Structure 1
Amino acid sequence: MHTLAVYAREARAQIVSTWRTPQFLIPSLALPLLFYGVIGLGLSKGREEIAHVMLANYVIFAAIAPAMFGFGAAVAAEREAKLIELKQIAPLPAGGYLAGRLVAALALVATAIGLLGVLAWFGGVVMVPWRWAATLGLGLASAIPFALIGLNIGLRLGSQGATAVANLLFLSFCLFGGLWVPLDLMPGWIVKLAELTPSYHLGRLSMMLSGMTPMADVQRHVMVLAAISLAAVAGTWAAWRRQAA
């Protein structure tokens, strides 16, 4: 079978598996919508700017949980069940399992972000088409660094440890990224710590692309995100090779 067809079948299998796991699927879709509906739209009471700012933050928030838990806790559980070892000895191209997992996560994140966009549009958020596309597109792309971080967790820890660490990082990324509480309201040391997280830089870029803040330091944000992603790729590859040994 052609290599591309094998990748496509593995991706399809991972997507079907994800959509048949309601205990993971429903919270991943419902939490961003619930938070945004209550905080972004409900508490803003018609103030479009607040709803607009919250949308820029929540498209990043929507990507964190599926990526962290779909790759962290889920991969750790499959590794403990020896399913990953089975994938590694099966006639599957190197990286086929990981690519399939990533496609499944992106499909879930795309659904969550699409629903957020619809909710924001009906809630009165107004942007020109290219800003809608850029903001929602960044939210989708933001799943990649979080997924790579989650993979490092899933390939290195047991299922219980991976779940605990994924929860800790999920909360930390949301808090230190300024996705829940504006960093202007926090102590200076938290702001300095926040700059080490991908959620902070993605949040800043999302605010710029949505038109809520001027374009500034874009290159720095992109370079930090690239460095974090490359480090996560290296860690993932090393963990995968050790798993296969």
Structure 2
Amino acid sequence: MNTVVMENAAMLHQVNSLRAYVLEAKYEFLRVLRTPAFAIPSLLFPPLFYLLFGVLLNRGNGAAAHYLFATYSVFGVMAPGLFGFGVSVAIERERGWLALKRVAPMPPGAYLAAKMLMAMAFALIIYAMLAAMAAALGGVRLDPAQWLLLGAIAAFGVLPFCALGLLVGCRANASASPAIVNFIYLPMAFLSGLWMPLTMLPQFIRDIAVLWPPYHLAQLALAAIGREHAGSAAMHVAFLVVFTAVCFAIARRWLARAG
């Protein structure tokens, strides 16, 4: 009898924990969606940039349309991770929201898990917008498996930027965090060859490109659509996994001491 009661209690606890994760993710997504300062730039800038540079300025250039579709998919997923963590965590930490979350009756990992799921959802929305534009206006033609693979890369590729954003959010104050994130976001995109092929950039930029997460994610994206790329998929995945794990480990220690 006691065993049955304990099993039922354990099952109920798991159901309640799962429900807490789902609700936290749902409300985080709605909160961000209702924040125009985050939602509008994150959702609209990558498609608008692709429309300008990938479609209008390279009309009839299929190679450019395919290349920029892959790299702008990477550019698009950077924002939800960097801003969704780097700015929102800084604001919530400064306002005491993190301290309230610690004493709330919810699983300890629900706060970060909800933000990661929010970032992944935004990444998929951005990718879907870019994919529709690339197919309808850019002349991009891919196999169904390639569309799906690139979508998966976009969804999971946001995680390194969540980790990097969390590092910023754990240290920067609310007023400084947007400037710090922008200082990371735009230069890193340029130095990784997201706006133009690295072959068009100076040699020293090509030499240091391997230091940036967007470069490795872009190479995976280019490989997924059958375009010329550098290095092996295993090397790029290993870099991104290690980078994400290290950033999350450091941020976790900082977050534990954050007020």
Q: Distance in 1 between matches of 2:195 and 2:63?
A: 16
Q: Which one of 40, 52, 58 corresponds to residue 66 of structure 2?
A: 52
Q: SS state of the match for residue 175, structure 2?
A: helix
Q: Which amino acid aligns with 2:69?
A: L
| Cα distance in 2, alignment partners of residues 159 and 181 from structure 1 | 33
- Give matches, 1:51-70, under 5 Å: 51-70=65-84
Offset, 1:74: 1.4
Q: How many angstroms apart in 1 are the aligned matches of 2:243 and 2:128?
A: 26
Q: Of the candidates 179, 193, 196, which is equivalent to residue 211 of structure 2?
A: 196
User: Secondary structure of 2:60's partner?
Assistant: coil
Report SS of the residue matched to 1:178: coil
Q: How big is each residue's C-alpha offset from its partner over 1:161-187, in whole Å with a ceiling of 9 and x where there is no partner?
A: 222211111012211110012211222
* Residue number in structure 2 paired with 1:160: 175
The answer to whether 1:18 aligns with 2:50 is: no
Aligned pair partner of 2:147 in 132, 137, 140: 132
Deviations along 1:138-171, whole A, 9 cap, x unmatched? Answer: 1121111001110111011101222221111101
Amino acid aligned to 1:121: A
- 2:156 corresponds in structure 1 to 141
Pick from 52, 77, 92 the counterpart of residue 78 of structure 1.
92
Find the counterpart in structure 2 of residue 109 from structure 1.
123
Counterpart in the other structure of 1:99? 113
1:187-207 deviations in whole A, cap 9, x for unaligned? 222222221110011111111
Matched, 1:90 2:104: yes
Q: Greater shift after overlay, 158-167 or 11-20? A: 158-167
Count of equivalent residues? 244
Greater C-alpha radius of gyration: 2
1:38 alignment partner AA:
L
Deviation at 1:220, TM superposition (A): 1.5
The aligned counterpart of 1:151 is: 166
> What is the aligned partner in structure 1 of residue 242 from structure 2?
227
SS of the residue corresponding to residue 179 of structure 1 reads coil
Structure 1: distance between partners of 2:89 and 2:83: 9
Query: Partners of 1:218 and 1:103 in 2: how far apart?
Result: 24
Post-superposition offset of 1:229: 0.9
The range that moved more, 214-223 or 89-98, is 214-223
TM-score between the two structures when normalised by the length of structure 1: 0.95
Q: Deviations over 1:86-131 (max 9, x none)?
A: 1111111112111111111111111111111111110221011111
Q: Does the residue aligned with 1:58 lie in a helix, a strand or coil? A: helix
The amino acid across from 2:22 in the alignment is: A
Give the structure 2 partner of residue 5 of structure 1: 19
Distance in 1 separating the partners of 2:68 and 2:102: 42
CA–CA distance in structure 2, aligned partners of residues 236 and 92 of structure 1: 20
| Percent of aligned pairs sharing the same letter | 33
How high is the TM-score relative to the length of structure 2? 0.90
Aligned AA (1:83):
W
Partner SS, residue 195 of structure 1: helix
5+ residue gaps, structure 2: 1-12
RMSD: 1.4
Of stretches 184-193 and 210-219 in structure 1, the one that deviates more from structure 2 is: 210-219
